[in-house]
Structure 1
Amino acid sequence: MHISARSDYALRALVATAGFSDGGPVSATKLAEAQAIPLGFLHDILSDLRRAGLLTSQRGTDGGYTLARPPSEITVGDVLRAINGSLSTVRGLPPDQVNYHGVASSLPELWLTLHEAIADVVDRTTLEDLLPSQWRATA
């Protein structure tokens, strides 16, 4: 599994959003500074996360981004799918669409098993799980 910078930044931005304790909107600038993410790149990522229903946005001087659901209800899998579409691919194809012949004909089963293992981990890990303990009670 390849974790792109875009996926890494998206997850870091959402965890940071969950970690800000006042519960109000967090500006893209504040998120970028807190996580050392290039602001221009972050704007695109935040738009994707908003379209996926993981963030809400508010315009204006007091505007910014808030989680659309509690951190305990947003999984790493939700974030990765919002950014990448699929959790894993084999030469650009979903694992269930790969077909081999001859002695390699059993490889698709391996790719599917790996895909399911990845899905299991990312679909049971929430943003709340990723917050350091001192931030969990306030998120």
Structure 2
Amino acid sequence: MSQVKVYGVKEPLRAIRNRLSDVIHGCVVEALQFPENKRAHRFLYLEPDDFFMPEGRTEQYIIIELLMIEGRTVETKKKLITLLFDRIHRQLGLSLNDIEICILESPAHNWGFRGQTGDDVSISYQIKV
């Protein structure tokens, strides 16, 4: 299981939302071996006055949080982060300085979906990659 939250200034983020979602999903499918039909993305649009950002960032600055059931190797998570930086930069033109990524993991028993806890539900893809 994986869910993605993307935070950014409303207008610049809204302008790239669909393409960014496609890029993120492609990276998740490749690095985490996710099925194509497993996309759960949320875009959180912030007013410029509500989004304090580090010095040196532009209005295109985004934060990507990936919430996942734990179990992926360090190498797999680093591959995902590397793919995200590379493809977002190349395909959408965002500066590497304007992209921040955080992977947050929790045990399967902390998740609930399809009426069951994550450690009891049967899923169609591997988590230990």
Whether these two folds match at TM > 0.5 is: no
Relative contact order, higher structure (CA 8 A, sep 6+): 2
Larger radius of gyration: 1
TM-score by length of 1: 0.29
Give 1 or 2: higher helix fraction.
1
